[in-house]
Chains A and B, each alone.
Chain A
Amino acid sequence: MEWSWQFVEEILPDLFRGFLVTIEATILGSIVAAILGLVFAILRRSDNRLISRPVGFIVEFIRGTPLLVQLYFLFYVLPDVGIVLAPLVAGVIGLGLHYATYTSEVYRAGINNVPRGQWEAAKAANLSSFQTWRYVILPQALPPMIPALANYFIAMFKETPLLAAITVLELMNEAKSIANYTYRYIEPMTMVGVFFLAVSIPSVVVLRWMERRFGRIGQE
């Protein structure tokens, strides 16, 4: 099989359209994972066991099952109970939910790293629980977590081809359908790799920079 630049040029617009969907799914999934992970982490710290235990169970359950299975459930099983989700919506929820279980561990570690004295000072200053999180704990806990969170978002980005299984027309799915009607695999699959590298290599550079920038904040 010979490499054809002309073929590459022909399929590039389709691939690029798929690539934009991949980026969209990654960004939206990251937002869901970032917010939901924080919610999981805070609820798991609750003194009320009726909250912390079930949330802990849900997190472990989601983390302990494959993302692909979860995507199938969201897209092919939920319609049986009357919940019909668009492919991209199901994909974003699946990615976000799955990665939220990982980001919640990052948050948990970051929150645990805030010294106990900070909680006590907040209490002595008579801050409410919400004010303590908002003004004292999270501003200290979040910056050192940014590199670890970004790491998961890059990992999520590389898992987006799974969305092809639930008919999302992302990069991998576009490449597959091109291959299916042209019987040429080498160019579309190679270009998929190139697209992913084009994002992940600069991301790693940015990640290294973030590790230097946010790794430490002004400790007392």
Chain B
Amino acid sequence: MPDAIIEIDKVSKRFGQLEVLKDLTFNVAPGEKLALIGPSGSGKTTILRILMTLEQINGGHIKVDGEQLWHMPANGGLAPANEAHLHRMRAKIGMVFQLFNLFPHMTVLRNVMLPPILTQGVRKEDAEARAMELLDMVGMAEKATAKPAQLSGGQKQRVAIARALALQPKVMLFDEVTSALDPELVEEVLNVMRRLAEETDMTMLLVTHEMSFAHDFADRVLFFDGGRIVEEGPPDQIFTNPREERTQGFLKKVIAAGQRI
């Protein structure tokens, strides 16, 4: 892949004795929609958390948009990134969480408009106008003055997506964004993400257990198991004609659990 926006090179990550990522290497092209699937504990969420700088790495290198994420140039070599470097790199990346993590003491509108004001110096009126546009896009404009506690899970997640978009990141990370939702609320969130995929050329990484959505949404699917990529390919291949035994086994279990693929 010549022109990668994310380059992950031999990254390893341990939690104590447990090795959750082992020499992980893959690239993501600009504008690519990448789905990361696999059993729980396979390391797929960890890679998103590392990209958002919520977890440090124990080895390897990551480049985002051509720049080292966890390192910075020093004396001709590389040194561990300092907070200022991480702060600058974070501006390129946005994340939507499984448990929404909206700021509960702020209105919906303030949740969306405050980060650009604080981190990008956007004027209040401009931030508000932009936030209303985004809330309109996710179908939440009429709830702008509500507090998060007054919203359903699906509504919260749509607001969380608007909040992440307000910072105009180059890369968006979606970490099991529908896993905490009641089944009837899943579709409204997925619809927002479908629109987003159609209307923007943002790079998106998606960790999900929604296989049929991953199938429709992704340009490429990575199947993780035991901290490694076991198999990767276009969704049609992974979901209908997986080569690896472990991929086949995983998909069988998913189908047995009642999911369509």
Contact = CB atoms under 8 A, between A and B. Distances in A.
- Tell me if chain B binds chain A: yes
Given A131-B118, A218-B148, A220-B149, A126 B101 contact: no
Interface string A112-133: 0001011011011111110100
A125 B163 CA distance: 8
Contact of B102 (A121, A126, A135, A139): A121
Most chain A beta-carbon contacts within 10 A, residue among B52, B90, B100, B115? B115
B189 to A, nearest CB: 16
A218 B104 contact: yes
Given A131-B118, A218-B148, A118 B101 contact: yes
Interface string B128-167: 0000000000000000000111000000100000011001
B200 interface: no
Given A126-B87, A127-B118, A127-B119, A121 B104 contact: no
Given A120-B54, A126-B119, A139 B97 contact: no
Nearest to B95: A124
A128 B91 CA distance: 12
Interface size class of B (residues with CB under 8 A): 20 to 34
Contacts of A123: 52-54, 90
Nearest to A219: B104
A202 B93 CA distance: 53
A217 interface: yes
Contacts of A125: 114-115, 118-119, 163, 167
Interface residues of A, number: 21
A30 interface: no
Contacts of B81: none
Contacts of A127: 115, 118-119
A152 B161 CA distance: 42
Contacts of A139: 105
A220 B156 contact: yes
B167 A135 contact: no
A126 B114 CA distance: 11
Given A218-B149, A220-B149, A126 B104 contact: no
7 smallest beta-carbon distances between A and B, as pairs? A121-B101, A125-B115, A117-B101, A218-B149, A124-B95, A126-B90, A126-B119
Given A124-B54, A125-B118, 11 more contacts: A117-B97, A117-B100, A121-B101, A123-B52, A123-B90, A124-B52, A125-B167, A126-B90, A126-B91, A140-B104, A220-B148
Interface of A: 115, 117-118, 120-121, 123-129, 131, 135-136, 139-140, 217-220
